[in-house]
Amino acid sequence: MLQDAFNAVREFHYHKGIAPVQEFPTTRYTDRPYSQHAGWLLDNAVKYMRDAAENLEHQDKDDPRTMRMHLILEECAECISAMMAGDEELALDGLLDLIFVCVGAGVVFDWPMDEGFYEVWRSNMTKGRTDK
Protein backbone atom coordinates (compact mmCIF):
# COMPACT_ATOMS: atom_id res chain seq x y z
CA MET A 1 0.00 0.00 0.00
CA LEU A 2 2.68 2.54 0.99
CA GLN A 3 4.74 1.87 -2.14
CA ASP A 4 1.59 2.37 -4.23
CA ALA A 5 1.04 5.71 -2.50
CA PHE A 6 4.63 6.81 -3.15
CA ASN A 7 4.31 5.77 -6.79
CA ALA A 8 1.06 7.73 -7.12
CA VAL A 9 2.72 10.85 -5.67
CA ARG A 10 5.71 10.32 -7.96
CA GLU A 11 3.32 10.06 -10.94
CA PHE A 12 1.59 13.29 -9.85
CA HIS A 13 4.94 15.13 -9.73
CA TYR A 14 5.92 13.80 -13.15
CA HIS A 15 2.49 14.71 -14.57
CA LYS A 16 2.81 18.27 -13.20
CA GLY A 17 6.41 18.66 -14.41
CA ILE A 18 7.81 18.93 -10.89
CA ALA A 19 11.34 17.60 -11.23
CA PRO A 20 12.97 15.86 -8.29
CA VAL A 21 15.73 17.82 -6.55
CA GLN A 22 18.98 15.93 -6.90
CA GLU A 23 20.64 17.36 -3.81
CA PHE A 24 19.14 18.64 -0.57
CA PRO A 25 20.30 22.23 0.15
CA THR A 26 22.55 22.23 3.22
CA THR A 27 22.62 25.99 3.84
CA ARG A 28 20.23 27.68 6.25
CA TYR A 29 17.09 28.84 4.47
CA THR A 30 17.49 32.36 5.88
CA ASP A 31 21.02 32.72 4.47
CA ARG A 32 19.44 33.75 1.17
CA PRO A 33 18.60 37.47 1.38
CA TYR A 34 15.27 37.23 -0.45
CA SER A 35 13.99 34.62 1.97
CA GLN A 36 14.70 36.35 5.30
CA HIS A 37 11.07 37.40 5.80
CA ALA A 38 9.84 33.92 4.89
CA GLY A 39 12.40 32.53 7.33
CA TRP A 40 11.09 34.79 10.09
CA LEU A 41 7.54 33.64 9.36
CA LEU A 42 8.59 29.98 9.36
CA ASP A 43 10.58 30.38 12.59
CA ASN A 44 7.46 31.82 14.22
CA ALA A 45 5.22 29.11 12.75
CA VAL A 46 7.55 26.47 14.21
CA LYS A 47 7.51 28.25 17.59
CA TYR A 48 3.69 28.38 17.62
CA MET A 49 3.41 24.72 16.56
CA ARG A 50 5.75 23.69 19.39
CA ASP A 51 3.86 25.86 21.90
CA ALA A 52 0.54 24.38 20.78
CA ALA A 53 1.93 20.83 20.91
CA GLU A 54 3.24 21.41 24.44
CA ASN A 55 -0.09 22.88 25.54
CA LEU A 56 -2.02 19.94 24.06
CA GLU A 57 0.20 17.54 25.98
CA HIS A 58 -1.46 18.81 29.18
CA GLN A 59 -5.04 18.77 27.87
CA ASP A 60 -7.83 16.19 27.95
CA LYS A 61 -6.10 12.80 27.71
CA ASP A 62 -9.43 11.03 27.05
CA ASP A 63 -10.02 12.84 23.74
CA PRO A 64 -8.04 10.97 21.04
CA ARG A 65 -7.85 14.15 18.95
CA THR A 66 -5.65 15.74 21.61
CA MET A 67 -2.82 13.22 21.24
CA ARG A 68 -3.09 13.17 17.44
CA MET A 69 -2.95 16.98 17.18
CA HIS A 70 -0.02 17.05 19.63
CA LEU A 71 1.96 14.50 17.62
CA ILE A 72 1.21 16.07 14.22
CA LEU A 73 2.21 19.56 15.39
CA GLU A 74 5.37 18.26 17.07
CA GLU A 75 6.57 16.32 14.02
CA CYS A 76 5.60 19.06 11.56
CA ALA A 77 7.62 21.60 13.59
CA GLU A 78 10.60 19.21 13.67
CA CYS A 79 10.48 18.67 9.92
CA ILE A 80 10.19 22.37 9.01
CA SER A 81 12.91 23.36 11.48
CA ALA A 82 15.31 20.76 10.03
CA MET A 83 14.54 21.79 6.44
CA MET A 84 15.20 25.42 7.31
CA ALA A 85 18.51 24.44 8.92
CA GLY A 86 19.57 22.40 5.90
CA ASP A 87 19.77 19.20 7.98
CA GLU A 88 18.78 16.50 5.51
CA GLU A 89 18.93 13.59 7.96
CA LEU A 90 16.76 15.32 10.55
CA ALA A 91 14.37 16.61 7.86
CA LEU A 92 13.89 13.08 6.54
CA ASP A 93 13.36 11.77 10.07
CA GLY A 94 10.81 14.51 10.77
CA LEU A 95 9.00 13.91 7.49
CA LEU A 96 8.77 10.15 8.06
CA ASP A 97 7.62 10.71 11.65
CA LEU A 98 4.97 13.13 10.34
CA ILE A 99 3.77 10.59 7.79
CA PHE A 100 3.66 7.94 10.53
CA VAL A 101 1.61 10.04 12.96
CA CYS A 102 -0.75 11.24 10.21
CA VAL A 103 -1.42 7.66 9.09
CA GLY A 104 -1.75 6.78 12.78
CA ALA A 105 -4.53 9.37 13.08
CA GLY A 106 -6.32 7.66 10.20
CA VAL A 107 -5.96 4.31 11.98
CA VAL A 108 -7.15 5.67 15.35
CA PHE A 109 -10.23 7.26 13.78
CA ASP A 110 -10.81 4.32 11.42
CA TRP A 111 -10.84 6.62 8.39
CA PRO A 112 -10.82 5.14 4.87
CA MET A 113 -7.24 6.20 4.15
CA ASP A 114 -6.77 4.16 0.95
CA GLU A 115 -9.93 5.45 -0.67
CA GLY A 116 -9.33 8.99 0.56
CA PHE A 117 -5.72 9.04 -0.64
CA TYR A 118 -6.64 7.93 -4.13
CA GLU A 119 -9.53 10.39 -4.31
CA VAL A 120 -7.12 13.23 -3.43
CA TRP A 121 -4.66 11.89 -6.02
CA ARG A 122 -7.37 11.66 -8.68
CA SER A 123 -8.56 15.18 -7.94
CA ASN A 124 -5.01 16.61 -7.98
CA MET A 125 -4.28 14.93 -11.31
CA THR A 126 -7.10 16.92 -12.91
CA LYS A 127 -5.75 20.30 -11.74
CA GLY A 128 -3.46 22.45 -13.85
CA ARG A 129 0.16 23.03 -12.99
CA THR A 130 0.32 25.55 -10.14
CA ASP A 131 4.04 26.32 -9.76
CA LYS A 132 5.32 29.57 -11.26
**HEC profile of 86-98:** CCHHHHHHHHHHH
* pLDDT (tens place) for every residue of the chain, 132 residues total: 678 888 888 888 888 888 777 788 887 776 776 677 888 899 999 999 999 999 998 988 889 999 999 999 999 999 999 998 889 999 999 999 999 999 999 999 999 999 999 999 999 999 876 654
Which three-class secondary structure state does DSSP give residue 114?
helix
Q: Which residues contact 39 (CB under 8 A, 6 or more apart)?
A: 28, 29, 30, 84
Residues whose CB is less than 8 angstroms from the CB of residue 87 and which lie 6 or more positions away in sequence, other chains included:
26
pTM comes to 0.83
